[in-house]
Amino acid sequence: MTYAVCGIVSGHVQGVGFRYHVKQAVESTQLVGHALNLPDRTVEVLLIGDQAEVESVQKTALEGSRYARVESIDWQTVEVVSTEGFRIG
């Protein structure tokens, strides 16, 4: 069953490898989505795929990258949208 969540990540998460950290976690899965820097210095993470894989990557995102400091992630379940691959931006 396809499952989709979108999360806004707050903290020190831009310019510290956070998006690449999430991308690496996704590479061992069948998930698609994105990790995008937002103008307010947060990062939006969209994960679409198997619920167990989504939940695993959510945990990895909360841990953050080596230099990131994740303060919070506001996850929302969203309707599945059509997308291909995983992109960062």
CA 4 – CA 43 distance, rounded (Å): 17
Let me know if 66 is a catalytic residue.
Answer: no
What is the bridge-based pairing of β-strands 32-37 and 2-12?
unpaired
Contact by Cβ (8 Å): 10, 40: no
Residues 58, 5: contact at Cβ < 8 Å? yes
Active site residue 69: no
Residues with catalytic annotation? 19, 37
